Amino acid sequence: MRASAGFTALFVVIVAAGCSDSSSDAGFAGLAQQVGGGDTSGFLQPRPGDTLVFPEDWGPHPQHRIEWWYLTANLETSDGDPLGVQWTQFRQALQPRTTENEGPAADSWPLEVAWMAHGAVSFEGEHWFAEKLARGDMGHAGATVDPFNVWLDEWRLESVPGSGKWRLQVEGDGWAYDLRLSNTGDVVAHGLDGFSAKSASGEGSMYFSLVDLQMTGTVTLGDETLEVSGQGWFDREWSSQFLKAGQQGWDWFALHLDSGEKLMAFRLREDEGAFMSGSWINAEGEVEALGAEDLTLTPASWTESPRGRVPTQWRLRIPGQQLDLTIAAPPGDYWNTGLYPYWESPVSVSGTHEGVGYMELTGYSN
């Protein structure tokens, strides 16, 4: 893997930095099954009352410990066959720095920041996945605001000059995609003006989305290149805390409904019960924050696999919107089998509303 020379040492440092207790499985950005709060001394932690600032928040947050840029897309081929795409890039700081600090010189072989990127394609019951990792401050990975650019080696999401569009290019072993993205809606700030609580005791992250992305381009699988188009969902999130002790993982959903409404919902599984939150976006783009009193999210059917037992069908209800949905992954195995395995699949929506979306499930791997 290019740009990951010496990554064995990097991996050890990341894992050690992510643990505050005896667990050795604290994953990158909390993707592993068991995680701890970590030593956040010196890092800024989002709080209620913090607000989003643009265009700065498109770029990195070096005073915060973890963040990610995350895209999922429900596309169709020219024959009308559904195809799913995912791309995520993570940044994890091992020590904080100010926004004015440009970082150490590359020739010092610094180890202050680590980057990880995931790419996946899901089509006709098959799932292709790749992972890339890089040491920060070496030029192999990073993010900038002007121009907007997030990259790890040749993988990149970047603004296209003079077009108002973004371009996403990712290539794995025997597969690739090259997509153009156009945003037609406003930024959606989750929670309280962008502060998204992740526990009843108030810890959380800053979190916003673009939910009105129109996408076109090509997906190459082996020797075949497919013309695709459809809709995407883009998330930005940053914090300085991993999951709390006692939280085993999360179940996250982003849905585009045929009515023009959209929904984000997640639950963080805890030793006793779960913490739930979400955002309801009506057809006019107005956002309503949802709490545990507003929604229920319940596994309805499970799938057994060598990697782990996963809830692949769910029931989601929001009584205030007369919403009662069944959310289901298509047949297939949608594990992202990187350093910290997790499930990432397109989903179909039925019930009081129909639609499509994406589902991410962490903490279920053996």
Tokens of 191: 């929670």
β-bridge pairing 247-257 and 82-93:
unpaired
Residue with token string 């956040």: 40
Q: Find, among 33, 9, 14, 10, the residue nearest to 243 by Cα.
A: 33
189 within some domain: yes
201 within some domain: yes
pLDDT reported for residue 138: 81
CATH number of the domain encompassing residue 237: 2.40.370.10
41 within some domain: yes
1 within some domain: no
- Cβ atoms of residues 61 and 207 within 8 Å: no
Mean pLDDT of 180-189: 96
β-bridge pairing 204-221 and 335-336:
unpaired
326 within some domain: yes
Distance, CA of 137 to chain centre: 23
- Of 17-21, 85-89, 313-317, 328-332, the one with minimum mean pLDDT is 17-21
Q: Which residues form the domain of 87? A: 7-361
pLDDT reported for residue 14: 46
51 within some domain: yes
Q: Find, among 22, 25, 7, 2, the residue nearest to 340 by Cα.
A: 25
User: Can you spell out the DSSP letters for 124-179?
Assistant: TTEEEEEEEEEETTSSSEEEETTTTEEEETTEEEEEETTTTEEEEEEEETTEEEEE
Is the pLDDT confidence value at 8 over 60?
A: no
pLDDT reported for residue 251: 96
Share of the chain above pLDDT 90, in %: 74
Q: How many domains does the chain have?
A: 1
Is the pLDDT confidence value at 194 over 80?
A: yes
Tokens of 54: 């643009």
CA distance 13 to 93: 11
CA distance 358 to 361: 10
How confident is the model over 152-180, as pLDDT tens digits? 999 999 999 989 999 999 999 999 999 99
- Mean pLDDT, the chain, rounded, equals 88
144: pLDDT confidence band, cut at 50, 70 and 90? very high
How confident is the model over 256-310, as pLDDT tens digits? 999 999 999 999 998 888 999 999 999 999 999 999 999 999 999 999 999 999 9
134 within some domain: yes
2 within some domain: no
